[in-house]
């Protein structure tokens, strides 16, 4: 099983069909785990300042027989550091939505 455990300063805000809150900077805790043998993993992202009371997200990840992620659920958009971590581990295929997202991230850097 592979694990990610990191912190990052991020600009965050709540957003829904009723509008959006003002952006603010928070220290986010990002954890993820992936087990291709069991073809699943998960992640959790939350702000350290409120211990997740203000900003919190979690979800699951699913991997195919080839070891590549093919789906996730739980949040609108999977965190960019999780995608890069999965790519570094060789868990993102050479094409498809996940590869496109990683390529966008790398182009921005």
CB 16: neighbour CB atoms within 10 A?
Answer: 7
End-to-end CA distance of the chain: 28
For residues 10 and 26, the answer to whether their CB atoms sit within 8 Å is yes
Q: Residue 94 has what DSSP assignment?
A: S
- Specify the pLDDT at position 29: 98
Instruction: Tally the domains of the chain.
Output: 1
Above pLDDT 70, what percent of the chain?
100
For residues 31 and 19, give the distance between their C-alpha atoms in angstroms, rounded to a whole number.
Answer: 28
Phi and psi, residue 48, nearest 5°? -70, -35
Q: pTM for this one?
A: 0.92
Q: What is the pLDDT of residues 39-64, one digit of tens each?
A: 999 999 999 999 999 999 999 999 99
Q: Is 6 helix (H, G, I), strand (E, B) or coil?
A: strand
Rounded to the nearest 5°, which phi and psi values hold at 44?
Answer: -145, 135
Per the structure, the complete domain to which residue 48 belongs is given by 2-108
């Amino acid at each position: 099983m592979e694990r990610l455990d990191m912190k990052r300063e991020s600009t965050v805000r709540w957003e829904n069909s009723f509008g959006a809150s003002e952006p603010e900077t928070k220290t986010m805790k990002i954890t993820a785990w992936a087990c291709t043998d069991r073809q699943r993993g998960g992640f959790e992202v939350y702000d350290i300042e409120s211990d997740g009371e203000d900003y919190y997200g979690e979800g699951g990840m699913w991997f195919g027989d080839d070891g590549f992620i093919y789906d996730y659920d739980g949040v609108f958009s999977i965190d960019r550091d999780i995608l890069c971590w999965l790519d570094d581990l060789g868990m993102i295929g050479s094409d498809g939505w996940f590869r496109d997202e990683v390529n966008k991230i790398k182009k921005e850097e």
